[in-house]
Amino acid sequence: MFQQEVTPYDLAYRGNIAAVKILLNENERLKTQTDNNGRMLIHWAALGGHDDLVRHLLSLDGGIVPVDPTDDTDMTPLILAASAGREKVVNTLLNEGARVNATTVDGHSALQYAASKNWKSICVALLEKDADVNIADKRGATPLHRSASKGNTAIVKLLIEYGKNLNIDPRDTYGNTPLHLACEENRVEEAKLLVANGADPTTTNKERKTPLDLASPGLVRQLGEIKRETTSK
């Protein structure tokens, strides 16, 4: 039966640090060599969540392995680790100076992925290293758009809490604000949080729809009550 050859990159992803160390001793170039996706060993170690291997690679030869190499879609190890929920690796990379606001070719950042996937502790780590709370991808979607549309209540709260510079009503390329998306997906708690913190339920998107046009009748009533309470204070 045909058996596919295990590559050094497979070993790094699986966290087989002993085997990787042997290969590195045998082949110096492997430290910074890339695979068909333009990824180094550190990309795969980060994606697999293998903090010990990431630390080992970064300790080699006075920094020969970069902390922020990009693959063929401009993914960095930090973006991969944040996307996969690898908190230890995220913290190591941030402490080693990884660019917190690096983005892929589509404009996706570590914070956007973490916000989308509900990785709260990773979002905290990124925000504490000055991640741009309003960073937008090529479609104009911010971390707030992503967390509000997914129903990630804890992340919406966190972005509001950390966001002294937070834009509560950013528009994506379709003119939708996070409140539009929360209402469209019937994310009740997220919609209420947004309106309580100043989101405008009368903003129109490119189809001339307001968030209220997209909300269920029950949610429209609740948002109306919150709006009246906040304006009467």
For residue range 150-206, list pLDDT tens digits in order: 999 999 999 999 877 899 999 999 999 999 999 999 999 999 999 999 999 999 999
Average pLDDT over residues 128-149: 97
Of 80, 13, 19, nearest in space to 41 by CA: 13
Quickly state the pLDDT bin for 229 (edges 50, 70, 90): confident
Of 67, 162, 151, 70, nearest to 116 by C-alpha is 151
Nearest to 81 by CA among 111, 36, 37: 111
Question: What percent of the chain clears pLDDT 70, i.e. is strictly above it?
Answer: 97
pLDDT tier at 227 (50, 70, 90 boundaries)? Answer: confident
Residue-wise pLDDT tens digits, 77-120: 999 999 999 999 999 999 999 999 999 999 999 999 999 999 99
Q: Is the pLDDT of residue 1 over 70?
A: no
Residue 6 has pLDDT above 90, yes or no: no
Please report which confidence band the pLDDT of residue 233 belongs to, taking 50, 70 and 90 as the band edges.
low
- The domain defined by 1-132 carries CATH number 1.25.40.20: yes
Please indicate whether the domains covering 1-132 and 136-232 agree at the CATH topology level: yes
Task: Check residue 232 and give its pLDDT.
Answer: 67
Is 136-232 in CATH node 1.25.40.20? yes
Q: What confidence score (pLDDT) does residue 49 get?
A: 98
Taking the C-alpha atoms of residue 143 and residue 116, their distance in angstroms, rounded to an integer, is 7
* Residues present in the chain in total: 233
Structural domain spans, the chain? 1-132, 136-232
pLDDT value of position 15: 96
103: phi then psi, degrees, rounded to nearest 5: -130, 155
pTM assigned to the model: 0.94
Whether the per-residue pLDDT at 219 is higher than 70: the answer is yes
| Residues 28-66: tens digit of each pLDDT | 999 999 999 999 999 999 999 999 999 999 999 878 999
